A and B are shown apart, each in its own frame.
Chain A
Amino acid sequence: MTDAPLLKVNAVSKFYGQRIGCKEVSFDLWPGEVLAIVGESGSGKTTLLNCISTRLLPTTGSVEYTMRDGSVRDLYHMSEAERRFLMRTDWGFVHQNPADGLRMTVSAGANVGERLMAVGNRHYGNIRATASDWLTRVEISKDRIDDAPRAFSGGMRQRLQIARNLVTGPRLVFMDEPTGGLDVSVQARLLDLVRGLVNDLGLSAIIVTHDLAVARLLSHRMMVMKDGHVIEHGLTDRVLDDPREPYTQLLVSSILQV
């Protein structure tokens, strides 16, 4: 409880001309904490995620990040080289569409190994062993290591994307609708896998989703967004069991009971 937050988001706003992407969003993310950002499409949750992960530059605001050496850096004032290095070592980004996060023409092994090679690993045998280990961890059979993701199902591709991101032992992972395009049964498996990995590795994560069940299963804390504003924020089971805002109540009451 005495450690410092991993990420400090201070009044981040993004405007697209007159239109609001997200407005005045502030929060802290602590090590090992999973935050879900929920809201319907167009609510600004992906804009916010992209701003925080520096894929998009916000109009105003700042994001501070505690580096591995303990120093605190302002993400928007880092050099591009530093930022890109951070993104491929200490961070992960899991896209909704695996094709956006994978190299579809190279083998699963190379997809997982790329980050290792990017940080200077030059031993083929070691890279391959690590890749193979990670494929097992995301429940992809080792004998698929030389197959390209093109030959994989949607669920496998998504698991491969996760392995590719986690291989460098990142401390923070961003996920944009990670279960978006998947069948329900495949979703369950993926969620369970992600839950297990997050627990085992002590990852911090920011997960954008419109699916409250995903938020319930994976997150400690959630933020509800509407029209670019954070309208409710709190412990996940508090927000879901005792929603305070009209919009949150609508969201919660819209869940189909099976």
Chain B
Amino acid sequence: MSPEVPSDQGLAAYNFAYLDEQTKRMIRRAILKAIAIPGYQVPFASREMPMPYGWGTGGVQVTASIIGPDDVLKVIDQGADDTTNAVSIRAFFQKVANVAVTTHTKEATIIQTRHRIPEQALSEGQVLVYQVPIPEPLRFLEPRETETRKMHALEEYGLMHVKLYEDIAHNGRISKTYAYPVKVAGRYVMDPSPTPKFDNPKMHMSDALQLFGAGREKRIYAIPPYTEVVSLDFEDHPFEIQRFDKPCALCGAENVYLDEVILDDKGGRMFVCSDTDHCEDRREHGHAGEMLARQEAAE
């Protein structure tokens, strides 16, 4: 990753990866600080991007600041490489940075994600960039930003459990299934962006660097590789991830996060991998789920 591009490469007419170098430096400083203080929300001067807030402006700015000509970029939206948000962000970086792109998790050096962590375990050297809508985990119960910052500073996190208590009181269990709060490196409580809690264990001691960018809220935070990430819970209501009754209907994978797909208007439906790359890869290697097997039998 060396984003400094010599002007004689014909790229001088515009900035590599859209942002000017000063901005990228500012963001990199924020990222370095975030890595130094795992889970701490570092304010940064978020720029206007050529897309609306909510489309991943935070993640895009982080990616733009760390990407270099040799990087290979993968972009996913809810696990899929082929939905609007993923396609347009991938196209954006192809255009403004002329980088190689891929859908294969293993090949990517940078993976920008909206709300999923790939099923394929990440490896050292990879960077996962999250798009974050609301970085403040305490906001639900304490709307004052001055107060929540103080609570982070003084490590007053009782309120986080109040939220979980409410969940159990009203639903009999912790019903929060996404954006499930975690404690990073035993210090800061962090909102992992609206990823399903199924993915929370993957953040723990990950080989990859995880960066979080919130454009509208102007915050960057990070989990360095090999950092402890613990999901909050109660002793008598321990943290649990979602379980699925059936394997993926297409590739037969178990212990992966599944999406429900409606097949017809007669109640027909199937559950398939949310991670499209993982699913395709498995099918290429000859795995077949129930639905695929039935189709093949029909042909």
Name A's B-contacting residues (CB within 8 A). Answer: 80-81, 84, 103, 105-107, 109-110, 113-115, 117-119, 122-125, 127-128, 145-146
Contacts A110-B162, A113-B162, A146-B169 given; indicate if A123 touches B234 (C-beta within 8 A): yes
Q: In the complex, which residues 56-71 of chain B have their Cβ closer than 8 Å to any Cβ of chain A? A: none
CB distance from B177 to the nearest CB of A (A): 18
Interface of A is mostly: helix
| Residues of chain A lying within 8 A (CB to CB) of residue B235 | 122-124
- Per DSSP, chain B at the interface is helix
Taking the closest CB of chain B, its distance from the CB of A6, in whole angstroms, is 25
**Given A80-B150, A103-B141, A110-B166: 15 more A-B contacts, CB < 8 Å:** A81-B154, A106-B141, A106-B166, A107-B166, A107-B170, A110-B162, A115-B158, A117-B159, A118-B156, A123-B234, A124-B168, A124-B235, A124-B237, A127-B165, A145-B169
Enumerate 23 A-B pairs (CB-CB under 8 Å) in ascending A order. Answer: A80-B150, A80-B154, A84-B154, A84-B156, A103-B141, A105-B141, A106-B166, A107-B166, A107-B170, A109-B169, A110-B165, A110-B166, A115-B158, A117-B158, A117-B159, A117-B165, A119-B158, A122-B161, A122-B233, A123-B235, A124-B165, A124-B234, A128-B165
- B264 interface residue (CB < 8 Å to A): no
Q: Which chain A residue has the least Cβ–Cβ distance from B233?
A: A122
Indicate which residue in A117, A125, A146 contacts B236 across the interface (CB closer than 8 Å): A125
A114: which of B150, B154, B159 is its contact (CB, 8 Å)? Answer: B159
Most buried by B among A106, A119, A146: A106
Interface residues of B (CB under 8 A from A): 141, 150, 154, 156, 158-159, 161-162, 165-166, 168-170, 233-237
User: In the complex, what residues of A have CB within 8 A of residue B237's CB?
Assistant: 124
Residues on B with beta carbons closer than 8 Å to the beta carbon of A115: 158
Number of A-B residue pairs at CB separation under 8 A: 55
Candidates B161, B162, B169, B236; contact of A103 at CB < 8 Å = B162
Most B CB atoms within 10 A — which of A81, A107, A122? A122
CA distance A128 to B156 in the complex (A): 20
Chain A residues in 8 Å Cβ range of B156: 84, 118
CA distance A124 to B150 in the complex (A): 26
CA A121 – CA B82 in complex, angstroms?
Answer: 45
Contact call B158/A128, Cβ cutoff below 8 A: no
Q: How far is the CB of A127 from chain B (nearest CB, A)?
A: 7
Chain B residues lying within 8 Å of A105, measured Cβ to Cβ, are 141
Is the CB–CB distance between B165 and A109 below 8 Å? yes
CA distance A107 to B163 in the complex (A): 10
Q: Report B55 CB to chain A, min CB distance, Å.
A: 30
B144 to nearest A CB, angstroms? 13
Q: A residues within 8 A CB of B159? A: 114, 117-118
On chain B, the residues within 8 Å of A84 by CB distance are 154, 156
| Separation of A103 and B234 alpha carbons in the complex (Å) | 21
C-alpha gap A146/B168 in the complex (Å): 10
Q: What's the least CB distance linking A27 to chain B, in Å?
A: 30
Whether A114 pairs with B162 at a CB distance below 8 angstroms is: yes
**B residues less than 8 Å from A145 (CB atoms):** 169
Say how far A91's CB is from chain B's closest CB, in angstroms: 15
